[in-house]
Amino acid sequence: MRIIAFLSQKGGCGKSTLAASLGVAAAEAGERVTLFDLDPKKSLYRWGIKRTARDLSVRTVSPAKLHAVLNSLRMAKKTSLVILDTPALESQATLAAMQVAHFSIVPARPAIFDIWASEVTGRKMKLMNKEFAFLLNQCPAAPDNMHLLDSISALDAIGYLFHPYIRQRNVFLDAISVGKGVTELEPQGRSSREIRAFWRTLKQRLPQA
């Protein structure tokens, strides 16, 4: 059972939206997925309630119970991939997710405040000797946008940066509003191709099951 966590010290970078669509894409690729919402806002959990498909599980858990719940999943042997969605800023939930995750994803929008926050998170992960990578999210359509290029340079200097970047498209919000991932709402769309490519690249960096 592999565990990944979405971490960021800044809100609004799309952690919950990415976790939802990634979970769906991984399940479509054959993973047995459980998503845990550690954020008191419970955005991911509310998305899970809206789902009609039963191909994955979405649950809430407190930081104090995270270890015990994960151990129970390991014993049951019915889950191959766990995705942890965490609140913004440092908290017990964020620290707990950092400690148990085999790999962490630090999403950032290509904006200076987001990049600064992501740099802080990345440096902390390095100090903890934890595996992580950055993911640029909600990127502008123009590939040569100055803010995007500056963001790429800043994050590349600290750690690995996932490719492709995730472009800003309304389909993400549309999918979340009806309890779906983008690969379900627009299977042949560009956002779906980006999310599937993200999952394939991420899977290569995870430990063997």
C-beta neighbour count of 2 within 10 angstroms: 19
Number of domains forming the structure of the chain: 1
pLDDT tens per residue across span 128-172 = 899 999 999 998 876 566 766 777 777 788 888 898 889 999 999
Mean pLDDT highest for which of 44-53, 103-112, 123-132, 141-150? 44-53
pLDDT over 90 at 198, yes or no: yes
Q: Are strands 33-37 and 56-60 parallel, antiparallel or unpaired?
A: parallel
Tell me, what CATH number does 83's domain have? Answer: 3.40.50.300
Query: Structure tokens of 98?
Result: 């950092």
Written as one letter, the residue type at 152 is: I
Written as one letter, the residue type at 202 is: L
Instruction: Band the pLDDT of 43: cuts 50, 70, 90.
Output: very high
Read off the pLDDT of each residue in 87-107 and give the average, rounded to a whole number. 90
- pLDDT given at position 184: 97
- pLDDT given at position 144: 64
Q: CB neighbours of 162 closer than 8 A, spacing ≥ 6?
A: 105, 133, 134, 135, 136, 198, 201, 202
- The pLDDT > 90 percentage for the chain reads 64
Q: Are strands 132-136 and 56-60 parallel, antiparallel or unpaired?
A: unpaired
pLDDT over 70 at 178, yes or no: yes
- pLDDT given at position 112: 80
Q: What is the CA radius of gyration of the chain?
A: 16
* Ranges of H-type helices in the chain: 15-28, 43-50, 66-76, 92-100, 112-127, 146-156, 171-177, 182-185, 190-205
Distance CA 180, CA 192 (A): 12
Q: In which domain, by residue range, is 86 found?
A: 2-205
pLDDT over 80 at 185, yes or no: yes
pLDDT over 80 at 65, yes or no: yes
Name which of 5-9, 50-54, 150-154 the model is least confident about.
Answer: 150-154
pLDDT over 80 at 9, yes or no: no
Read off the pLDDT of each residue in 34-43 and give the average, rounded to a whole number. 95
